Structure 1
């Protein structure tokens, strides 16, 4: 599944794009719009993005969990080396596993809290456009739908610019490929029937 990013200039255009995407088989679960005008999206019944898409909770949570795991391993190693309870006290392995697990969970929690305060890394390049009042449309498509969606958008919504494609939005560590306008035109021309 891919995530295709379109940048729409107005709410009216976004509503038309949403309606046409529904007509080609993309339901609300796979269509999310990011805008500073949340009220306008609600009034037009356009499915807005959720916090997992707009904030860096998942990415920072994973990073925090990894750091917590490493800190937990270092802490357990130090406990095993220095034996603070005495050389004769045998600490069960389960206690060490619980300590590493607790450090990992604490790191994930701290990372998630950091992520709540951070804009999603994949959306940073569109921050100025969204702040200027444009609408970023995220369309999740399966392989068999991708060409249909791209062709429909090129033919019916030239004002909604194809700006990027992601292999999948949910993976927080993948990059977003920016799409040039010539690439978009070549893709649509290659799918057009030849006479």
Structure 2
């Protein structure tokens, strides 16, 4: 299990130093994601993908839930109308189609919205700070937090998300 750590960095030079220290602490580069609203990130800093920057994951989750509920209601109505003796296959198919359609349509809408989980960081990002999202092993959280606090007094710890989903 991984924990997601958030750090606000003052500038590009600090971001590069933090990246070096994370790599020295054996955090793989694929688990480090930088977000900047003002400056263009250099080629050496791994930029966060749209899955981190937008609300597409949250939208897909909400859409699946709404689609599943709507699918169950439609399946019950269709099963009683079309096939009252064996409604299970039809009900499962309708529920599955509605769930997938809900996830797809809600994620398309949410792809245009900023990530709601990062809302607290947007004022700092607008002022030119850089956000680091680091997904680290749970057993290493204390060591990494201690190292970052000792070696980088200019960065601000932005919090921790204890359960990181497998898919961002």
Same fold (TM over 0.5): yes
Determine the structure 2 residue equivalent to 1:26. 27
State the secondary structure of the residue aligned to 1:40: coil
Give me the whole-angstrom Cα distance separating, in 2, the residues matched to 1:92 and 1:126.
49
Q: Are residues 1:134 and 2:133 paired?
A: no
How far 1:147 moved relative to its partner?
Answer: 2.2
How far 1:89 moved relative to its partner?
Answer: 8.0
Q: Are residues 1:124 and 2:119 paired?
A: yes
* Correspondence 1:94-113 to 2 at 5 A: 94-113=89-108
Larger Rg: 1
How far 1:144 moved relative to its partner?
Answer: 3.0
5+ long unaligned stretches in structure 1: 173-195
Determine the structure 2 residue equivalent to 1:61. 60
Tell me: CA distance 1:119–1:159, structure 2 relative to 1, closer, same or farther (3 Å). same
RMSD: 2.2
Tell me: CA distance 1:170–1:131, structure 2 relative to 1, closer, same or farther (3 Å). farther
Q: Is the 8 A contact 1:9 1:160 kept in 2?
A: yes
Deviations 1:52-78 (A, max 9, x none): 211111111011111111111111222
How far 1:168 moved relative to its partner?
Answer: 3.0
Give me the whole-angstrom Cα distance separating, in 1, the residues matched to 2:15 and 2:84.
67
Q: Are residues 1:71 and 2:66 paired?
A: no
Which structure is richer in relative contact order (CA contacts within 8 A, separation 6 or more)?
2
TM-score (norm 1): 0.77
5+ long unaligned stretches in structure 2: none
Q: Is the 8 A contact 1:38 1:48 kept in 2?
A: no
Query: 4+ residue stretches of structure 1 with deviation over 6 A?
Result: none
How far 1:80 moved relative to its partner?
Answer: 3.4
Q: Is the 8 A contact 1:7 1:137 kept in 2?
A: yes
